[in-house]
Amino acid sequence: MQAPHHWAQAGRPHVTDFAPVDIALQGRFMPEVTIGSSASFENELKRFNKLVQQSGILKEARQRQHFEPPSVVRKRKAANKLRKSLKAARLETGRQLKNSATKRKP
């Protein structure tokens, strides 16, 4: 089996042993690290793990392990939004108190 044409253009290696798997990335990139001749494998593995963490692949995979109904997703997002807004209000109140304490009139 020949690799798809767009892989050859991207400079990726040709894979002949198995069929390529299409993964829906939804605008994200697949982490990819090329190992240079002077770099150690451990350093490149650390770089790869960092890229995987930043891309959020593992987080999404854990979320998709079990089906979550749309109603639960909406409730979870609403709870997160409420939690963040309360935290922002709490921080803003703290800043206002701190600023008012430093701006005392003589």
* pTM, to two decimals: 0.45
For 87-105, b/e burial (b = at least 16 CB within 10 A) is eeeeeeeeeeeeeeeeeee
Every domain of the chain and the residues it spans: 1-66, 68-106
Structure tokens at 54: 């930043």
Query: Residues 45-103: pLDDT tens digits?
Result: 898 899 889 888 888 888 889 999 999 999 999 999 999 999 999 999 988 888 877 76
Q: CA-CA distance, 65 to 82, in Å (whole number)?
A: 26
Contact 7, 22 (CB under 8 A): no
DSSP 66: S
